[in-house]
Structure 1
Amino acid sequence: MGWISTVFVHKALDAAVSLASADEDARGKLFKSVGLDPSAPVDPGAMISDGDFFGLLERIAKLDDRGRFVPVQIGASMCCDDYGAFGLAFKSAPDLLSSYARVERFGKVVTSIANFRVKQVGPSVFMEVVQGGDPRLGLRMTNELALAATMSLSQEVSSEDFFPVAVHLMTERPEVDDVYHAHFRCPVHFGADHDALEVAITAAVRPNRLSDNGMSRFFETHLDNQLSQISDRSELEQGILDQIGEALSEGVPTLAEVAGCMGMSSRTLQRRLSAEGLAYQDLVSSARKSLSEQLLRRTDYALAEIAFLTGFSDQSTFTRAFKRWHQQTPANYRRDTPV
């Protein structure tokens, strides 16, 4: 079971009222339907289950046609300060690409669902929602919310007016799609094979308006501590990470090899990964990242040796990957990180 911050419950019900999908009486009942007091202060650290949140969005969508637009309305209302330390880390990052890297790295501080992976393809950067295994409407709406919020935060921190290249949505085109175009201000591709915000690399590397290296490092440390307190790994995920970690010195194991070690077929393992919203390549990256951090902190191995032990073909490839994870070189990480 996953979770999501109650910030989004407050935002969802405020959006339903503003769209006239719900009145104040209905708002109170919807709060109570997920076990929350509508008069309680908003706490970014308070969570509800993902199933409860999906159900809430689905109930709002059934109120009337406007309820289906609530995710975009929520996203349009989000700002960095709504996310606490997570939002401040986004705001203080050097550039938008670094902000997106923080979302990829620390997203589970806010929710275990609708997390992102950052991909660069040619001249574009894709902020792509990692797909969960549940096909229900509430999850699709949550993915739309995540992209709409990314749009708002990108506008907030960008030093110039921000326009994406496009937004890609797996949902089918609704009869009325004005709300999507008004918020994203770019072409909207419905029925796509993924949910993603596409941004030009030139826009992604522009300095953020309020970038501050000192603050950025402070909030990264704070979020690392928060993340370490979240124990959300399933037995399957941890088992796969362990198998990959043990094999890396011999090269990156294939999914079939890991499946064999775990006593199941490749097809069964792939099905179980999909059911938990996991991607094998993401687990490989996570295992490499974790092992490289341990080796840098706890050993005196040369960087070339660490590259080999974490499954990279050479030191330069390892260094590039490590800079994507930490926005600094392995040598600087080893120097700046306590044992």
Structure 2
Amino acid sequence: MATETFLASFGLVGLRLIERHGIDPAHFARELGIPSTALPDARTRLPSALLDSAFEKAARCIPDPAFALGAAECWHPSHLGTLGYAWLSSGSLRTALKRMARYTKTLGQRMSSRCVETPEGLQFIYDHGRGDTLTGWVMADFGLSLIVSLCRTNDGTDLAPALVTLRRPTPATIRPYEDFFGGPVRFGETHDGLLLSWQVADRPLPTSNRELATTCDAILASELATLQNDDLESRCRAHLLHELTSGEPSDTRLAESLGLSTRTLQRKLAALGLSYRGLLEKTRYELALRYLDDPKKSVTEITFLLGFSEQSAFTRAFKRWNGKAPSDYRQSPGS
């Protein structure tokens, strides 16, 4: 398997952060083997192990256990690559957080996130991939502080999550966390995440730009496919993306494209908790959302781009995925 990587420009947020605590970022970077602290090319990536070393080193050098919350003051959209601009152009925080969940791995391949819709609101769960370790706890503070800062930038308010949950043990003082997040924070939980009320999550955003968001989504999808070309799920989805416009792909054709028998493919997917039908549905739904965000594409055109033979079939499928008809989704606030 290829070495896991992270976006080099994303790491510059961390260098800005340690500079705020009196550490020379250039010297810090050289000790880690990073030759330059200038903004790198947008495609430059570094090994994930280097990111681990940086967080571990920073945690040893900085006495404040909550220091990583300061990342909120150190970012610029360019540090997050295309994802930064896609986020800022989202129509609502719900769509922004779902974009982050979909494309988190463009920032770091060991990271992942997901959104869970609850009666209380939209729950965003972040997994840095480092477990319950000091490095993991610091990375959780770092990541969630960036997410909240992004939300506040989009929303234009001093937004406060309804609840923040952290896996780290309760620190000696919780005041820095309460002051930063502006709401209740619970420690020693099973996951790192935050909850936004539906009123906040679905509020239309003044920074919304559907055309820019759609363009960024296309770039991000390509980046993600390139990053994960050794991953079975990504390889399957890349094939489905290519074949959908010719009608509904078959699992037989997919298996052939991967050099596997249909039975072997089914077994490998099952071992990952996946299925061909599930991957097809997920791929179609994500594409449907992207296409519906493009006002130039008609529902009829989208129907055939997704491999459906009739618009009624697409409408039934989208209602099953989203609860709304495609046309109703387009008209809803923040869609």
Name the TM-score class by shorter chain: 0.7 to 0.9
Give 1:144 deviation, angstroms. 2.4
Q: Does 2:91 align with 1:88? A: no
Q: Mapping of 1:308-323 within 5 angstroms?
A: 316-318=319-321, 320=323
Change (3 A) 1:86 1:39: closer
Instruction: Check whether the contact 2:319–2:325 (CA below 8 A) recurs between aligned residues.
Output: no
Paired residue secondary structure (1:172): coil
Would you say the 8 A contact 1:163–1:186 is kept in 2? Answer: yes
Q: Distance in 1 between matches of 2:167 and 2:224?
A: 29
Q: For 2:80 and 2:33, how far apart are their aligned partners in 1? A: 21
2:56 corresponds to: 58
Flag the 1:140–1:93 CA change in 2: closer, same or farther, 3 A: same
Deviation of 1:179 after TM superposition, in Å, equals 2.6
Q: 2:182 aligns with which of 178, 182, 185?
A: 185
CA contact (8 A) 1:85 1:223 kept: yes
Question: Secondary structure of 2:49's match?
Answer: helix
Q: Counterpart amino acid of 2:321?
A: F
CA distance in 1, matches of 2:228, 2:211: 28
- What's the counterpart of residue 299 of structure 2? none
CA contact (8 A) 2:91 2:208 kept: yes
Q: Name 1:140's counterpart in structure 2.
A: 137
Contact 1:95 1:204 in 2 (8 A): yes
Cα shift at 1:119: 1.1
Contact (CA 8 Å) 1:7, 1:44: kept in 2 or not? Answer: yes
Q: Which residue is 1:336 aligned to?
A: none
Deviation at 1:165, TM superposition (A): 0.6
What do the CA deviations read for 1:82-135 (whole angstroms, capped 9, x no partner)?
Answer: 324321111111111111121122222222233321111112111111463654
SS of the equivalent of 1:71 reads: helix
1:262 aligns with 2:277: no
1:124-158 alpha-carbon deviations (Å, 9 max, x no partner): 11111146365443233223221110000000010
> Identical aligned pairs, as a percentage?
15
Partner of 1:301: 309
Q: 1:321 to 1:171 in 2, by over 3 A?
A: farther
Alpha carbons of structure 1 residues 299 and 114: separation in structure 2 relative to 1, 3 Å: closer
Please give the alpha-carbon distance, in whole angstroms, between the structure 2 residues aligned to 1:259 and 1:171: 41
CA spacing shift, 1:2–1:183, aligned 2, 3 Å? farther
Segments of 5+ residues of structure 2 without an aligned counterpart are: 240-249, 253-262, 289-302
Tell me if the contact between 2:9 and 2:78 (Cα under 8 Å) persists in the aligned partners.
no
Q: How far apart are the structure 2 equivalents of 1:31 and 1:167? A: 32
Work out the CA distance in 2 between the residues paired with 1:72 and 1:322.
41
Number of positions where the alignment pairs a residue of Structure 1 with one of Structure 2: 292
Q: What's the counterpart of residue 119 of structure 1?
A: 116
Which residue does 1:290 correspond to in 2? 283
Match of 2:20 in 1: 18
Structure 1 residue runs without a partner (length 5+): 248-257, 274-279, 330-339
1:228 is the counterpart of 2:233:
no
The DSSP-based 3-state class of the residue aligned with 2:66 is helix
For normalisation by structure 1, the TM-score amounts to 0.71
Per the alignment, residue 126 of structure 2 pairs with: 129
Q: Which moved further from structure 2: 94-103 or 44-53?
A: 44-53
Distance 1:172 1:135, change over 3 A: closer
Q: Deviations over 1:257-292 (max 9, x none)?
A: x9996389x9xx5xxx6xxxxxx4799865422266
> What amino acid is aligned across from residue 316 of structure 1 in structure 2?
K
| Aligned equivalent of 1:156, options 149, 153, 158 | 153
Task: Determine helix, strand or coil for the equivalent of 2:159.
Answer: coil
DSSP 3-state at the match of 1:174: coil
Matching residue's letter, 1:6: A
Equivalent residue in structure 2 for 1:165, among 162, 165, 173: 162
> Contact (CA 8 Å) 1:104, 1:118: kept in 2 or not?
yes
Q: Deviations over 1:67-96 (max 9, x none)?
A: x43421123422434324321111111111
Q: What's the TM-score, normalizing by structure 2? A: 0.72
Distance 1:240 1:316, change over 3 A: closer
Where 1:222 maps in the other structure, the secondary structure is helix
Which shifted more, 293-302 or 202-211? Answer: 293-302
Structure 2 contact 318–324 (Cα < 8 Å) conserved = no
